Every structure is written in structure tokens, then in C-alpha cells.
Structure 1
Amino acid sequence: MVAFAIGSSLLLLFLAVPVFLVFGVGSSMVAIVGLNLPWSTLIQVAFGAVTKQVLLAIPLFIFTGLIMLRSGVARRLVDLALALVGHWPGGLGIAMVLTMGFFAAFCGSILAAITAVGTIMMPEMIKKGYSRTFTVTLAAAAGLLEALIPPSNAAIIYSSLTGVPVSHTFAAGVFPGLVLMAVLILLVLWRCRDMTREARVSAAGRWSAFVQAIPGLMTPFIILGGIYGGLLTPSEAAAVASIWAIIVGFTIHRELKFAAIWSALRDTAVTTSVIFAIIATATFLSVVLTYTQAPQHMTDYFVGFGANEITFLLIVGVICLILGTFIEIIPVFYLTVPIFMAVATTLGVPLEHLYIVFTAFAGLGLLTPPVCVGLYTAAGVINLSADKAFKELPLFLAVGILYGVLMIFIPGLTTWLPSLL
């Protein structure tokens, strides 16, 4: 029954059926016809999944990021990054990676970050002689920082699936996110080593850029400080951050308009509806897994196979890499986490470590066709056909796979910070 549910879902996916229907149709058929469950059971489970209090943080973080973009915060973060590293080899590319990292610290939405930062940086990079295909691929790859550096929508969803505190999942992504940022910077330094360097910004110019960026830089301290200080839940921190973003836009930068708030609300509603539709229908598969005891059977198989932690995580990485090629990262979580969480617990793999392995490999789906939603988003910013950027993929995919393997073999990068909480 599980094989039929997954097989029918993959078939619908290849037929370009929307992802929420991919989950809903196959799994509901198995649940109703094969397991004789009433519709009411599926509806109750779906309702319970989308009404978890922690998920309220998702639309609020998305809204915060969109307001930050419309209030000029994103542009000021770009100016700060350019002032700091613009004179390095490939300085504009490095500045885009750094800005993605800054933006990740208060947005949480991968596509919002690619659009926000890419709209500012990508035309400037192309004007300065950077390859259009390299620029698009770099922007899509840097978008993965949003899934690692807290706050992250992926971390919130993973916590809702596993029961791991959001504060722990957030903490697990800090060092892996910084390592990924360093890896991308090294890649840009090597790839753009022969490009003409920009002039160094004076000390006064760097200080001015820093002062202008202070309101934006304060946002992560408001969010994470409130959470780790025990003052705010993740949802409350997201709400406070959204209010702070509006205050910054109206009273500090004075660039935010009421029309921009309405636009941000509309875009937040669209993005959130997509995410929550997937969450609701993906729970149908969870019902099938529960009634067929598939996680227990999978655990018995791995234990009988004699798999250790490393072998298990390598298998998880390969599966997530393959699934990420066809499915976005959030559906991959709902498809795999309920199965592999039980195996990880039995083998003694920390669930925070499992989260990073899932994210590192499934996140490569931002780049890999046919879905490659990150690549399509970045290409759309500059009206480039995404398939023209495919020639840049081998280098980025090789680096991404090496990064994922590194995360498997160095669990301390993931587990040390959560262990202090």
C-alpha cells in the first residue's frame, strides 16, 4: 500500500499535477480504498497538521522578509556587503552571498530571498561583466542559506513533524549555514579570480553603510534573542519582527507605503496557501504510514542490515538528492521524515543532525532539473531562460554534494550548539 501511494504520487508528479494533489490523490486512495478509513479521519489529521501553533511563524516570517524588501532594508544590506568585500576578486558575487546570509536571518523564505537580493544584485553583476548563467546559478545556490540560517521555514516544518523544539532546529542550522556561506565564497573567489576588482570603499564609506544597515541587522537579534532568551515563542518572535519591519519602513527609512504593505500581505497569502496546501495533503501519506507501520518495517530493515549511523545518513542523502530533483524541499520533508525519523532514533542519530542532512541534499533540488525552482526563480529575475544556466550546474552540484558529505561526517557542526540549550 505504501509502495502504491508513493508510486502513484510520483506518476502524478511526472504528469505535472500540482504537488498538493500529488500527495492528496494517491495517499487518500490508499487510505480510503485500501485501509477502509473514512474521509473524516483524513480531514481531522489535515486540520490538526495546519493548525499547529508553531506553523503560525511561517507567514509572519515571510511577511517580515517582504516588508524588509519594500522598506529598503535589503538594499542597505547589499550596500554594506559591497562596502566590506566589493574590492575582493568576484566581490559582487561574494556580496550577494553575504547579503543572502544577512537576509536569511530574518526572512526564512528561500524564494523570497532569491527575489529580494537577486533583484538588486544580479543586474549589477551582469553590468560589471559577470556571466549571466553564473550569476543566476550562484543566486539559486545561495538561496539554500535561507533553509539553514535561522529563522527558517524548513526548520519550523521539520520541528512540527518531529517534535524537536524549534529553538534546537534553528541552532542546528547556524554553523552549517556559515560553512555553506564560506564554501560559496571560496567558489566565487576561485571562479572569478581573473575578473577586474572594484575600488576599495573608504573607511568612512564602510562606516556609513554599516550605520544605514543597523535597523536591518538588529532584526536577527530581536528574533533569536527573544527565542533563546525565553521571552518569545517562535511565532511571537515572528510577529514582533514583522512589527519591527513596519516601524523601520515607516519611521526610520521612511520608504514604506501602505500600498507596499498590501502587496506584501497579498504575496504572503499566496506563498502561505501553497505551503499549507502541501502540508494538509501530505498528512494523508502520514496516515498511510501510521496504519501500515512502514516506519517500523523500515527500522527493522536497517537494523537487520547492520547499518550504522554513517551508512544510514549516506542512504538518506542519496534518497533526498534524488527526490529533491523532482520535488521541492518541503514535500520531501513530508515524504521522508516520518519514515526515517524512527530509524534515526533507533540508530542513535540526533534528529538535529538528520535535519541538516535532509536539508543539505534535498536543497540541491533548487538547482537540479526538472523542478529546479530556485534556478527558475533566479532566472526569472533577469528574464533568462533557465536551461541556459544548466551548463554551470556540474560545478555547483559537485560542491553541494561534497558539502552534504561533510555535514554527515562532522556531526559536531550540527549538534554542538543545540546541546548547549
Structure 2
Amino acid sequence: MVGTALGLSLVLLFLSVPVFLVFGLGSGLVAIFGLNLPWSTLIQVSFGAVTKHVLLAIPLFIFAGLIMLRAGVARRLVALAMAMVGHWPGGLGVAMVLTMGFFAAFCGSILAAITAVGSIMLPEMKKSGYPPAFSVVLAASAGLLEALIPPSNAAIIFSSLTNVPVSQTFSAGILPGLVLMVLLIVVVMIRGRAFSRNERAGWGARLVAVRRAVPSLLTPVIILGGIYAGLLTPSESAAVAVVWAAFVGFFIHRELTFEGVWSALKATAVTTTVIFSIIAMATFLAVVLTYTQAPQHLTAYLLQYGIGPITFLIMVGVICLVLGTFIEIVPVFYLTVPIFMGIALTMDVSMLHLYVVFTAFAGIGLLTPPVCVGIYTAASVANISADKAFPQVPLFVGVGVIYGVLMIFTPWLAEWLPSALH
């Protein structure tokens, strides 16, 4: 039954059927006609999945990030990064990576971050002689920081699937996110030696950039501080982030307008609809897995052949890498986590370690054709054809694979900070 559901889903996927319908039709038909389950069971499970309290944080974090974007935050963060590292080799590229990291700390949307930062940095990099293809793929690669550095939609979804506290999943992504940032910066500095550099900013200019960016830099402190101080749940922290973003936009930066708020609301509604439609339909596959006990059978099979934790994680990485080439990271989570979660528990693999490995390899899908939504988004911002950026993809995919392998063999990067905060 599971094979039939997956086979039908793959056929629909290759026919370019929207992902939520792939889940709904493939698994729904098997559940109804193969397992003789009533529609009411599927609807109840689906409704329960989308009404989990923890998922309320997703639209709120997205909304907070979009408000901050319209409040001029991205421009101030870029100015801060440029003042600090613009004179380094590849300084513009380094500044873009750092700005993506900063922006990740209060924005829940990868594509919004690529658009916000890329619209400022990509034209500047082109003027300074950076190859547009290199800049586009770098922007798409840096977008993965959004999936690791909290608040992260990927972390919230993983927690909803595994019942791991969101606070732990958030903190598990911080050190791996910083490691990825360092790897990207090293690549940019090596490649950037041939590009022009900015003049070193004076300390006065740096202090001005810091002062202008302070309200933005306080946002992650407010978001994460409330959670780890035990004062706020993730959903409450997201609501506070929205209020703080509106306050910054209206009263500090004074660049946010009611039209901008309405635009952010509409964009949030669109993004949230896409995510929650996938969540609702993906639960149909979870029903099929539950009734057929496929995860238990797969666990027994792997244990029978002596598969160890490292081999298992390598297998997970390869599967996520392949799936991420064809579908986005959210459906990859719903397709794979319910299957491999039980295996990981049986093999004493930490859920937090599993989360980082999942995210590392599935996130490479931002770069790999044919889906590569990160490259398409960055290319549209840079006003170039996406296929012109593809020659630079192998370099950054190689960096991503190296990073993923590093995550497999260094579980402490995912586990140390949650343990220390706990």
C-alpha cells in the first residue's frame, strides 16, 4: 500500500501536479480504496494536524519578518554588514551572507529573505564586478540560513511532527547555522580576491550603522529571550515579535505604512496557505503509514542487516538530497520524518541531530534544478535568466554536501546548546 501511494505520488509529481494535491490524491486514494478508511477519518486527522497550537507561530513569524522588511530593516542590516566587512576580500558577498544571517533571526520566510537582501546587494555586487551567476547562487545558498537560525519554519514543522519542544529545535539550529555561515564566507573570500573591494569604513561610520540597526538587532533578543526565559511560548513570542516589528516600523524607523501592513498581510496569507495546504494533505500519507505499519517494518529490516546510526544518517542525507531536487523542504519533511523518526529513536539517534541533518541535505534543493526555488527567486531579483546561474551550482552544492557530512559526524553541534539552555 505504501509503495502504491508513493508510486502514484511520484507520477503526479512528475506531471507537475501541485505538491499538496500530490499528497492528497496519492495517499488519499490508497487510504480510501486500499485501506477502506472513510473520508471522515482523513478529514479529522487533517484538521488536527493544521490546528496544532505550535503551528500558529508560522504565520506570525512570517508576518513579523515581512513587516520588518517594509520598515527598512534589510537596508540597515546591509549598511551595518558593509561597514564592518565591506573592505574584506569578497566583502560584498560576505556582507550579503552576514545580512542573511541577521535577517534569519526574525524572518520566517526563506524566499522573503532572498528577495529583501538580494534586491539591495545583488545590484551592488554587479556594479563591483561580481559575476551575476556567482552572486545569484550565493544568495540562494545563504537562504538556507533561514531554515537553521531561529525562528525557523522548518524547526516549527519538525517539532510538530516529532513533539520535540520548539525551544530545543530552535537552539539546535544555531551552531549549525553559524558553521554554514562560516563555510560560505570562506568560499566568498577565496573567490572574492579577484573582485574589487570597498574602502574601509571609519569608526564613526560603523557606530552610525550600529546605532541605526540596534532596533533590528534587538528583535531576536526579544523573540528568543522570551522563550528561553520561560516567559513566552513560541506562538506568544511570535505575536510579541509582530507588535515589536510594527512599533519599530511606525515609531522608530517611521517607514512602515498601513499600505505596507496590508501588503505584508496578503503576502503572509499566500505563504501560509501554501504551507498549511501541504501540511493538511501530507497527513493522508501519515494515515497510510500508521495503518500499514511501514515505519516499523522498515526499522526491523534495517536492524536485521546491522545498519548503524552513521550509515542510517548517510542514507537519510542521500534521500533528502534526492527528494529536495524535486520538491521543497516542507513536503520533504512531511514525506520522510514520519518514516525515519522511529528508526532514529530505535538507533538512539537524537531527534535534534536528525533535524539538522534533514535540514542540511533537504535545503540543498534550493540550488538543484529543476525546482531550485532559491535560484529562481534570486535570479528574478538580479534580473537574469536562472539557467545562466546553473554553472555555479556545483560549487555551492559541493559546499552543501561537505556541510551535511560534517553535521552527520558532529552531533554535538546540534545537541550541546539545547542541553546547556535546558
> Shorter-chain TM-score category?
over 0.9
TM-score, normalised to structure 1, is: 0.99
Higher mean C-alpha deviation, range 327-336 or range 117-126: 117-126
Question: Which residue pairs with 1:295 in the alignment?
Answer: 295
| Rounded Cα–Cα distance in structure 2 between residues aligned with 1:313 and 1:373 | 25
| Rounded Cα–Cα distance in structure 2 between residues aligned with 1:51 and 1:210 | 40
Alignment of 1:79-98 (within 5 A): 79-98=79-98
Question: Which residue pairs with 2:205 in the alignment?
Answer: 205
| Rounded Cα–Cα distance in structure 2 between residues aligned with 1:124 and 1:54 | 39
| Rounded Cα–Cα distance in structure 1 between residues aligned with 2:213 and 2:20 | 39
| Rounded Cα–Cα distance in structure 2 between residues aligned with 1:93 and 1:73 | 19
- Read off the aligned partner of 1:253 and give its amino acid letter: H
Question: Which residue pairs with 2:275 in the alignment?
Answer: 275
Question: Which residue pairs with 1:346 in the alignment?
Answer: 346
Question: Which residue pairs with 2:142 in the alignment?
Answer: 142
| Rounded Cα–Cα distance in structure 2 between residues aligned with 1:4 and 1:126 | 49
Question: Which residue pairs with 1:285 in the alignment?
Answer: 285
| Rounded Cα–Cα distance in structure 1 between residues aligned with 2:240 and 2:44 | 31
1:243 Cα offset (Å): 0.6
Provide, for residues 89-140 of structure 1, a one-character-per-residue CA deviation record: whole Å limited to 9, x for no partner.
1100000000000000011211111111111111111111111101110000
Question: Which residue pairs with 2:227 in the alignment?
Answer: 227
- Read off the aligned partner of 1:312 and give its amino acid letter: F
- Read off the aligned partner of 1:392 and give its amino acid letter: Q
- Read off the aligned partner of 1:53 and give its amino acid letter: H
- Read off the aligned partner of 1:308 and give its amino acid letter: G
Question: Number of matched residues?
Answer: 421
- Read off the aligned partner of 1:385 and give its amino acid letter: S
1:74 Cα offset (Å): 1.1
Alignment of 1:137-286 (within 5 A): 137-286=137-286
| Rounded Cα–Cα distance in structure 1 between residues aligned with 2:360 and 2:181 | 13
| Rounded Cα–Cα distance in structure 2 between residues aligned with 1:413 and 1:289 | 31
Question: Which residue pairs with 1:363 in the alignment?
Answer: 363
Alignment of 1:15-94 (within 5 A): 15-94=15-94
Question: Which residue pairs with 2:318 in the alignment?
Answer: 318
- Read off the aligned partner of 1:152 and give its amino acid letter: S
Provide, for residues 147-202 of structure 1, a one-character-per-residue CA deviation record: whole Å limited to 9, x for no partner.
00011000000000000000000010000000000000000001111212110000
1:388 Cα offset (Å): 1.0
Runs of 4+ in 1 over 2 A off after TM superposition: none
| Rounded Cα–Cα distance in structure 1 between residues aligned with 2:67 and 2:271 | 14
| Rounded Cα–Cα distance in structure 1 between residues aligned with 2:73 and 2:83 | 15
- Read off the aligned partner of 1:286 and give its amino acid letter: A
| Rounded Cα–Cα distance in structure 1 between residues aligned with 2:260 and 2:196 | 37
Listed as ranges, the gaps of 5+ residues in structure 1 are none
Question: Which residue pairs with 1:378 in the alignment?
Answer: 378
SS at match of 1:393: helix
Contact 2:139 2:378 in 1 (8 A): yes
Contact 2:128 2:195 in 1 (8 A): no
SS at match of 2:193: coil
Q: Does residue 414 of structure 1 match 2:414?
A: yes
- Read off the aligned partner of 1:62 and give its amino acid letter: I
Provide, for residues 283-302 of structure 1, a one-character-per-residue CA deviation record: whole Å limited to 9, x for no partner.
00000000000110111011
1:383 Cα offset (Å): 2.1
TM-score, normalised to structure 2, is: 0.99
1:331 Cα offset (Å): 0.2
| Rounded Cα–Cα distance in structure 1 between residues aligned with 2:106 and 2:140 | 18
1:382 Cα offset (Å): 1.9
| Rounded Cα–Cα distance in structure 2 between residues aligned with 1:279 and 1:381 | 29
| Rounded Cα–Cα distance in structure 2 between residues aligned with 1:390 and 1:382 | 14
| Rounded Cα–Cα distance in structure 1 between residues aligned with 2:194 and 2:121 | 20
- Read off the aligned partner of 1:241 and give its amino acid letter: A
| Rounded Cα–Cα distance in structure 2 between residues aligned with 1:288 and 1:376 | 34
| Rounded Cα–Cα distance in structure 1 between residues aligned with 2:43 and 2:112 | 30
Question: Which residue pairs with 2:305 in the alignment?
Answer: 305
| Rounded Cα–Cα distance in structure 1 between residues aligned with 2:40 and 2:146 | 36
Query: Aligned-pair RMSD on alpha carbons?
Result: 0.6
SS at match of 1:160: helix
Question: Which residue pairs with 1:401 in the alignment?
Answer: 401
1:418 Cα offset (Å): 1.2
| Rounded Cα–Cα distance in structure 2 between residues aligned with 1:249 and 1:107 | 15
Contact 2:97 2:142 in 1 (8 A): yes
Question: Which residue pairs with 1:126 in the alignment?
Answer: 126
Fraction of identical pairs, as percent: 72
- Read off the aligned partner of 1:191 and give its amino acid letter: R
SS at match of 1:192: helix
- Read off the aligned partner of 1:142 and give its amino acid letter: A
| Rounded Cα–Cα distance in structure 2 between residues aligned with 1:385 and 1:65 | 28
SS at match of 2:200: coil
| Rounded Cα–Cα distance in structure 1 between residues aligned with 2:42 and 2:115 | 36
SS at match of 1:193: helix
| Rounded Cα–Cα distance in structure 2 between residues aligned with 1:185 and 1:316 | 27
| Rounded Cα–Cα distance in structure 1 between residues aligned with 2:3 and 2:112 | 35
Higher mean C-alpha deviation, range 126-135 or range 146-155: 126-135
Contact 2:86 2:198 in 1 (8 A): yes
